[in-house]
Amino acid sequence: MRIRTDPAGALIFVNDEEIGLSPVTFAFLWYGDYDIIARKPGFKTLKTHYRVNPPWYQLPPFDLVAEVLIPGGGA
């Protein structure tokens, strides 16, 4: 996941964990909801919510089909 701000250099927090200064890239560990905060002195703090949805083939019952019928599927 990549987070950019304008102007760059905002301190980014994801789910209350400091990630780094924007622009920043980090690997998300799970599909689901993320609370993102961007802070930069002299600017208003931005708080937003972002949802990462799984691909269709990882939703039941498709995940079973991907694991059973497709070699390496679902991984």
Q: Cα 21 to the chain's mean position, in Å?
A: 16
Q: How many CB atoms lie within 10 A of CB 12?
A: 22
pLDDT greater than 70 at residue 69? no
Domain count, the chain: 1
Q: Let me know if residue 54 belongs to a domain.
A: yes
pTM of the model: 0.69
In this structure, is residue 49 part of a structural domain? yes
Domain extent, residue 25, equals: 2-69
CATH number for the domain harbouring residue 63 = 2.60.40
pLDDT band at 13 (very low <50, low <70, confident <90, very high): very high
On whether residue 74 sits in a domain, the answer given is no
75 occurs within a structural domain: no
